[in-house]
Structures are given as C-alpha cells and as structure tokens.
Chain A
Amino acid sequence: MDLMEKLTILADSAKYDAACTSSGADRSGRGSAIGSAVSYGICHTFTADGRCVSLLKVLFSNACIYDCKYCVNRVSNHKARRASFTPRELADLTLAFYRRNYIEGLFLSSGVVRSPDHTSELLLETLRLLREEYGFGGYIHVKAIPGADPRLLDAIGLLADRMSVNVELPSSQSLQKLAPDKSKHDILRPMRHIALRRGENREELVRYRRAPKFVPAGQATQMVVGATPESDFQILHLTESLYRSYDLKRVFFSAYIPVGDDRNLPSPDTKPPLLREHRLYQADWLLRFYHFSAGEILDEAHPNFNPVLDPKCNWAVHHMERFPVEIMRAREEELLRVPGIGPKSARRILAARRAGKLDFKAVARLGVVMKRAQYFITCAGKLADGLRVTDEAILRALTSRDAAAILSPPAEQLTLIPEELSMEDVRLCLKA
C-alpha cells in the first residue's frame, strides 16, 4: 500500500478526534535541529467544516482489536479498510510537512494493535525517532492507550508535549454499553498516573532546572456527545470534576456522527448535535476563564442548555438583580459576568480606567460588544443615552439570528419574539 493510501485511511480514521490544538508548550528552536513550540498555539489551516488544523492528526494504525460501537475502527466493522504506518514512515512524513510550515507538529493516536503495550511501543518508537534521531523540537500530542504499562506511559510522556486519555462517553453505564472492552477504571488509571507524574515533575523542575519535562503542555480528554442519554448538566459536571481532580488542560466534546446501526446507538439518520456541542464549549469557556461553576450554569431543575441563548446570557437574564454594574468600579469578576465582556476586554477596562474616565464610546473601543453589554453596564452611574431597557429589547440583543432560525422556520422568523413578550414569559420559556 503506498503512502498516499495509508495517509488517506489513517487521517480519515482520526478526523473525529476533536482536539487539534498546539498550545501550552514554549520551546525555542535553537536547542533542536528543527522545530519550536509557542504557548499560544498556531492554526495552520481550516478545513471545509471550519475546524482548525494545527497538527498532523493521524492514527498510527486503525487495525484495532476492540469493538467500541460508536467507532468506525471497531473490529466488527468489516467494511473498514485497515492500514498501519511504520515509525520511520510517519516520522519522515511529519518532518516533510513541518519543514514546509504545513503543521505545528504531530497528533498521534492509534487503534489497539495486538495489545495496548505493543501499540504503545510503536508510538514510543515514532516519538524516539523524531525527538532523538531527527532532533525535532515541534509540538507532539499523543493519545495514551488505556491499559498500557505505566512505564511506557512515562517514557512517552517525556517525549510528548501533551497527552490525552479519552473519557469517550460521559458515564460508566454508557461506556459499558458502547465500549465493552474499556472500563472507567482503564481510562481513569492512566489519567491519574499522568496527573501524578506531572505533579512530581513540577517538583523536580523546581529542584533541577534541566530536569526532563513530563507532558509540559498538560493533559486533555475528549468525550462523545449525543450517542448516549446523559444530560448537559451531567456532562458539564463531569467536565468540571475532570478539571479539578485530574488537573486537565482541556476537555473536548465531539458531536456524535452516526457510524453504525447498533441497537444501542441513535438511529443512523440522526443529525450530529452541533448546537449542543457548541453550547458545551461555551460553558467550558465559562468554567475556565470566567470563574463560573457548573452548578451556576445548569442545575437539576434545568439540566439542558437553552437553545436560543448562550449560557452566559442565559445566566445574566436570570440574575438581573446583579445588573447593571458600574464600569469605573466593578471588580474583574463582576465585569466578566456581563454579556459582551470577555477576559481581554475586562483586563483592558481595568487598565484604561486607571488612566481616566470611561464613557460608552471608550468602552466600545476597548473591545466590548455593546449590542449585548449596554443593558448590563453603567458609565459614571448612567445607562447609555436613549437606551430603552425593555425585556424584549434585551432578549433580541442577546439572541443571534442563527439561534432564532433554529427555533422557527424561516418564514416565521420575524414573529419569533412577539412584541408583547414579557421578561416573565422569557423566564418561563427558558425554564421550560
């Protein structure tokens, strides 16, 4: 099989992996033969579905011995064509792409070939070639293979920038049903191991500046959304506890795209739940950068996201008693709660207000989205001139046209939010 064919098969099998970020590691290229890493990450292109391509994202092999129902590479899928790289082939391809600035590095995952240990050894050999033989200093993200020997994990972790273990599904019941060869224990054990090793490594680095770095860009994970019955609240809660207990850098969500018609799966003509995935990412951002907790965003009584409002706006319209906040005095956490203000504009407000008074024009110049924010802030004690604060005006400002389109067929778009709709109606609707 020629390289073109292999690459096609093994990229095709890897494309459902959501993570393709190259962030978190900072390394000059001067110490290597080729390659550097920058902490903010670099996107090298965007595919037709609008996703960033930063890394050469492939499976090492798709000849998997497991039978996870939601996965195209499951052993029972006899239609799948199988292929495997050799470590040398993959290392050479990575360098050929890297030199031409196509990529930031390699994202290596694999089906389980023969055994988790055997597979991990193949991944380790690829990394060893790249790092030690070719002196490659670019970014490497490796998927840990659940069930592999911890010593192999350690060796890989010293050569990779980021590692991830996929949670796969948001609950252990779902896991049992759809991924019979993987258990919660299998998944959490390597995750725990990597987290502990990273903790030890931080201490080593304090003591010896040149101690080898273990997974310097941290650990990530991913789960499939929409293949199983968990609520958004359960998923978000799991996400939060993963950040807290396993020191994760990122949790990725991937909307389930039908791959087979096992009776445990949604029917094959199900549309991928893209809006739900989008809302989960919005909520994930609120957890990581806006000091929100999962319990503030959703709760037992409202276990699913509002399709029309993003989670931050949704929170704001339910907490109108906290607004408006005064731009010249509000604390950073208060500013971050305002729809239309993000971490960057909040920081700019803090800096700019020390240099002088801010009016609405100034606030807009600092990057605040006034269309949304104007209902929630005052400048020098005053609301924006001529602003009519009515419930429907607020709601209209917070709802995107796309969200409106989801709720109603195009012909009815104009009447989606009737004039007489009161805030009470909105709240009722949101709580429904």
Chain B
Amino acid sequence: MPESVDVCYLYDGSYDGFLSCVFESYRRRETPAAILPEDAPHPLCPTRPIPSDPALAARVTKGLSEKAGSRTEATVRFAFLTILPDKEMRILAFIRKAMKTGPRILRMMADDTAYPVYRAVAHMREEAHLFTGFLRFSEADGMLYAVIDPKNRVLPLIADHFADRFPRETFLIFDKTHREAMLCRNGEYALIAGEDFTPPPPDRTERETRALWTRFFETLSIAERKNPLCQRTHLPLRYRTYMTEFLSPEKAPPSGGPAQLTGSF
C-alpha cells in the first residue's frame, strides 16, 4: 500500500461513492487514514469529502475485472454489503492486493488481507441463504408482504430468488435493519430505500392459513426426540422474530392500517 496520509475520506455511503474514494486513493497514490460515510461520527483527523462519480466508479470496476477477474469484482461488490468492521479500508486493501496478484487472489483464502473479506462475504451468503427459507410472506388484498431484520444487506442477494420463484405475484420484502425494500411485480423488481413499512392487519384467510401452518409445524415435532439445542443451532433465535410459527397470536408483530411504505421514493 502506498504512503499513509492523515486524511479521512468522506463519501455518501453508496457503492459508487466508495469506489470513487478508491479511485481517489489511486490517483493521489496515498492511503487515507479512514474512509467513512458522511453521516458517521467524524474523527479528529482532517477530512476530505469525495463526491460520488459513477464514471470513476465504472473505471474502478472495469479495471478490477480486467486485472483480477469478474469473480474478484463480484467479491468486492458483495463485501460492501457486509457488516465487516472497517469494511471500506479492508476492501481498499483487498482491491490493491488483487490488482497486484490478479485472479490468483481467489485462491489466497488464508491471506491476511483477503481472509477477512472472504469470511464476511461467506457470512452474508449464509445469512441470505437462511432468509430464502425463513422469510415469511403474509397476504393482503392479493399482495404479499414480508419483513426481515438481517445483519448484512442481504436483499440484493435474495431478490433474484424470489423474483424467479413468484413470477406472477406482486410482493414486497422490507429489510427493517437497513430500511430498504424490494418491490416486485410479474417477475420485475426494484430495490428502494424506504423509511418504514407497516404491514396491514391479517384478514380472516390470512389468520386461518397462519393457524394451519402453526398447527402443522407443532404436530410435526416428535416428543420423544425433543432437542431445543439442535433446533437453535439450525434456527437461531434472531431469525424467529417474524416467523409465523413462532408468533403467538398475542405477540404478532405490530400492524397498522393499510400497508404503507413511507420514504424517499
């Protein structure tokens, strides 16, 4: 890595914004002390706001793909969605290393720079995979709604799966952690930054279907084999917040009037 300088880059929190910082770091041949979203608590060191520039971001993406392969580029894209601590600097270090090694970086799974990035991405993929199973839709007026609270921003990873699976449905998945929604109609979808989402109250059919499912779920367990530890290993408690079969009727998640997604869209 080139010389470290005592400057923090500030960016708008978007992926393009982050890649613009990467470009800036290359252009100035310097390694900033930190790369932080504008709304993060400001550190003591001098800051430099870096405007988000899609053209520069595209150049970084193109350069990385050509030099280190499209799988490396995808790894960087996914790594940006993870909860890796200090992810911006770690990804910057990863990009610099990948530009030197080329596609060989993909085999360097135990490398000090690459390992934390791969681990964070693997953690996110695992979480995304679990949500393809644990996510629960409710129906109201012919539309489907779901709320999830993942640690990583898994919505871009699971969107294709659900769009493909329900090609004729209209549905919405709301990521409560990152306040982001996926809206899908007839297999076409968009990801939208939203403020909040309140699911509509369940109607009679919905309540009956939930009751049938809950009964099925409870019936299936064999008393002689009861093993809550094994259940928690496969289905940690944090995933159960919005899962129909774990909601007692009184503990149903808060719901208001008609479905509402408020926010900037």
- A residues sitting closer than 8 Å to B (CB atoms) are 3-4, 7-8, 11-12, 15-16, 28-30, 32-36, 38, 42-54, 56-58, 93, 96-97, 99-102, 104, 255, 257, 271-272, 274, 348, 351-352, 354-356, 358, 361-363, 365-366
Contacts and interface: CB of A to CB of B under 8 A. Distances in A.
Nearest to B105: A355
B152 interface: no
Contact of A32 (B129, B167, B231): B167
A49 B231 contact: yes
Interface stretch (B2-10, B57-65, B77-85, B132-140): B132-140
B231 A46 contact: yes
Contact of A12 (B115, B167, B219): B219
Interface in B174-226: 187, 209, 211-213, 215-217, 219-226
Nearest to B222: A49
Given A48-B231, A50-B233, 19 more contacts: A3-B212, A8-B215, A11-B215, A34-B166, A34-B167, A34-B169, A38-B161, A43-B133, A43-B234, A45-B134, A46-B230, A46-B234, A47-B217, A50-B229, A51-B220, A99-B137, A100-B138, A358-B110, A366-B109
A257 B225 CA distance: 9
14 contacts: A7-B215, A8-B219, A16-B222, A35-B165, A45-B133, A45-B217, A46-B231, A49-B222, A100-B136, A100-B138, A100-B213, A257-B225, A352-B108, A352-B109
A36 B165 contact: yes
A365 B138 CA distance: 41
A102 B244 contact: yes
A42 B138 contact: no
Contacts of B213: 97, 100, 102
A48 B226 contact: yes
Contacts of A11: 215-216, 219-220
B53 interface: no
Nearest to B144: A99
B68 interface: no
Contacts of B187: 30
Given A34-B167, A36-B164, A50-B231, A101 B215 contact: no
A49 B138 contact: no
B109 A7 contact: no
B243 interface: yes
Contact of A47 (B161, B164, B221, B244): B221
A255 B220 CA distance: 16
Contact of A29 (B108, B167, B222, B235): B167
B164 A101 contact: no
Interface in B96-135: 104, 107-110, 115, 129, 132-135
A366 B110 contact: yes
B254 interface: no
Contacts of A12: 219
Contact of A100 (B108, B109, B244): B244
A354 B103 CA distance: 12
Interface residues of B, number: 51
Interface of B: 104, 107-110, 115, 129, 132-139, 144, 146, 161, 164-169, 187, 209, 211-213, 215-217, 219-231, 233-235, 243-245
B207 to A, nearest CB: 12
A30 B107 contact: no
Contacts of A15: 219-222
Contact of A351 (B109, B161, B227): B109
A59 B195 CA distance: 45
A104 B132 CA distance: 10
A46 B166 CA distance: 24
Contacts of A50: 225, 227-231, 233-234
A164 B250 CA distance: 41
Contacts of A4: 211-212, 215
A38 B230 CA distance: 25
A20 B29 CA distance: 56
Contact of A355 (B104, B221, B234): B104
The 10 tightest CB contacts between A and B, nearest first, are A50-B230, A362-B110, A355-B107, A47-B221, A49-B225, A365-B110, A46-B235, A48-B221, A50-B227, A42-B133
B110 A361 contact: yes
B225 A56 contact: no
Given A50-B234, A100-B144, A101-B135, A7 B212 contact: yes
B109 A365 contact: yes
A224 to B, nearest CB: 13
Nearest to B116: A365
Contact of A102 (B108, B136, B144, B234): B136
B167 A93 contact: no
A33 B168 contact: yes
A49 B167 contact: no
B169 A99 contact: yes
B234 A352 contact: no
A53 B133 CA distance: 10
B209 A96 contact: yes
A56 B212 CA distance: 11
Contacts of A96: 209, 212
A97 B209 contact: yes
A183 B25 CA distance: 75
A12 B223 CA distance: 11
Contacts of B139: 99-100
B134 to A, nearest CB: 7
Contacts of A366: 109-110
B219 to A, nearest CB: 4
A354 B165 CA distance: 39
